[in-house]
Amino acid sequence: MDGSRVLVLNFDYSPIAVCSVQRAFLLIFLEKAEMLANVEGGALHSVNRSFPMPAVIRLQRYIPLPYKGVILTRQNIFKRDAYTCQYCGTQKDLTLDHVVPRSKKGASSWTNLVTACKRCNARKGDFTPEAAGLRLRKKPEKPSYLDFLRNHSGLFQKEWDPYLQQTGRRASA
């Protein structure tokens, strides 16, 4: 693990961001945050001192933030669906499919967009999956910010796990 990213928790232990090790260290040094977990075997070095490399920090005061949601983008739909066609399971020639076609008033939303291969998308055409004889592997849902951070960000580090599993309260790790 390179330890280049640090999970930032608000004062109430809710995850609010991911930042660089340098930024996290500065927040700790300025006493604006405390280190809750460090990267095993990782260290930061100055001329004459060595410091543990932060993996999880908690801010020393509560920062009110607006609702943080996952933005609906093509790449985020692919990530949510693990880059897998939601009809046949292939991971080749992927595109997006509207479960309820746009021509039938289907919205471009988390609950109506899925990853589909070009073959299944063409087979489905301008029909619902049922009408085309296809079945979705799982119901499309909007991921929470926490789930997206944990499962799809590509930044996840094992030291974060206890803090992402117990949102809103101190993890007992």
Q: Given this model, what pLDDT does residue 172 score? A: 35
Q: Given this model, what pLDDT does residue 114 score? A: 98
Q: Given this model, what pLDDT does residue 59 score? A: 97
If one counts every other C-beta atom within 10 angstroms of the C-beta of residue 27, the result is 21
Mean pLDDT by 10 residues, the chain (173 residues): 76 88 95 94 88 95 84 93 96 97 96 98 96 96 78 70 62 35
Q: What residue type is assigned to position 114 of the chain?
A: V
Domains in the chain (CATH in brackets) are 5-67+144-165 (no CATH), 74-124 (1.10.30.50)
Q: What are the pLDDT digits (tens) for 45-95? A: 889 999 999 999 999 999 998 776 788 999 999 999 999 999 999 999 999
CA distance between the termini of the chain: 20
